[in-house]
Structure 1
Amino acid sequence: MTRIAIVVGSVRPGRVTRAVAEWVHATAAGRPDVRYELVDLADHDLPLRGEALPPRAGRYEHAHTKRWAATVAGFDGYLFVTPEYNHSAPAVLKNALDHLYDEWNDKAAGFVSLGFSGGVRAVEHLRLVAAELQIATVQAQLTLTLGDDFAEYPAFAPTGTREKELIRVLDQLESWAGALKTLRG
């Protein structure tokens, strides 16, 4: 069975990202031959000062990095749910990506983004990082705008087409995650 992590990419107090990730999880639940699981970065204590050696060395000293590596390694793909902060991704998400290397390789990723402009600039930056980590990103992306999908901010109320758009992301992500399993043996 294919396993995909829905990564909650913000830890700010009052964040709306968790509510979006829970909606994604509820929508994805029950899809055949795939299991989606929430992975909240708030549950992982990843300091900015990580390991002494670069992640490519794969020799982790700290327990928090070893736990994070075990979590990431267990998945075939990732659906990153990210807000846009100052035209980019949250530092906590970039830090989580930067902590590891091999555990991300030859896997697939999709994106659900949110912000005034739908979070598109955050995803542009994340796609570059993903490419360096040898993560294949899918073309489809769900962009949520604060004006439409959070009209009564902070309450999340996706507009009518959002579920259909999410299904397109999930379909592509599942296809790529399954295909890339063959590279990992």
Structure 2
Amino acid sequence: MSVAAKSVALVVTSTRGIRIGPSVASLLSTVLEPSAKAANINLKTVDLKSFNLPVFSESMPPMMIKPGGPQFEQETSKAWADEMSSHDGYIFIMNEYNYGMSGATKNAIDYLLNGFTGKPVALVSYGVKGGNLANEQAKGVLTAMGLTVIEPRPLLGFHGGRGPEGMLAVTEGKIGDETRKDWSEGHRAEILEAFEKLGEQLRAPKAEDDQLPPN
């Protein structure tokens, strides 16, 4: 009997006009695809920017949104929540603004609860210092919400920090050659380890499965 493939969303959280988030997602996809194929995991890039989410203003809080119950009023809200709930796990690709995760990232998370919590999530951040503070903040939020945050949490720093390659990313939305090498080669083992741990969580029996009677 064949086992259904699991779905993991590569969630690009940056929404700036000039950004490297999609390029980081592409780099990660290239690194992860062989392992994903071997583990029967489908990777899908989900770009937060494409959903055009406003600042959360729905009448009902996410905890009330469930099948057969109240629903979001705005189509953008429904589309985002439905997309995220359709996946078995996540890899959040995170930028850092002013020593924390961006407002767009936190706002997007604020739309989610049912169909999101209880699932595993890997955090990959990037920035001058690898987006370490955004990564740590997201870990606290998502853990408190009931997701399983995977360790390690790769921190992808620009080669030379605030030097030319850091400025290239910020002003032109491009990953410099040395930065790309640092990330795809220097961080490869860490990225693959995080993905392996994510896969283990995807395959782990759920609590409700443990209660099913034997065949």
Unmatched runs of 5 consecutive residues or more in structure 1: none
For the pair 1:138 / 2:147, whether they are aligned, the reply is no
3-state SS, counterpart of residue 109 of structure 1: strand
Per-residue CA deviations over 1:96-143 (Å, capped at 9, x if unaligned) read 110121121110001111111111110111011102321110111111
Superposition RMSD on alpha carbons, in Å?
Answer: 1.8
* Equivalent in the alignment of 1:118: 130
**1:43 matches 2:66:** no
| Structure richer in strand, relative to its length | 1
Deviations 1:59-86 (A, max 9, x none): 3222111111210111111100011111
Q: Tell me if the contact between 2:56 and 2:111 (Cα under 8 Å) persists in the aligned partners.
A: no
Choose the corresponding residue for 2:199, options 163, 169, 174: 174
1:106–1:183 contact (8 Å) kept in structure 2: no
Structure 1 pair 62–183 and aligned structure 2 pair: CA distance change class (3 A): farther
The alignment status of 1:94 with 2:119, answered yes or no, reads no
2:109 is equivalent to residue 79 of structure 1: no
Q: Which residue number in structure 1 is paired with residue 32 of structure 2?
A: 28
- Name structure 2 gaps, 5 residues minimum: 210-215
1:66–1:139 Cα change, 3 Å: same
Distance 1:29 1:147 in 2: 25
SS of equivalent residue, structure 2 residue 19 = coil
Structure 1 residues 131-140 or 148-157, which shifts more?
148-157
Query: 2:9 aligned to 5, 8, 30, which one?
Result: 5
Choose 1 or 2 for highest CA Rg: 2
| Structure 1 residue 158, shift from structure 2 partner | 3.4
Contact 1:106 1:184 in 2 (8 A): no
Q: 1:184 Cα shift?
A: 6.6
- C-alpha spacing 1:107/1:115, structure 2 compared with 1 (3 Å): same
Taking only the aligned residue pairs, the percentage that are identical comes to 25
Which residue, out of 128, 148, 165, partners 2:140? 128
Deviations 1:152-183 (A, max 9, x none): 32232131322222111111111112226x24
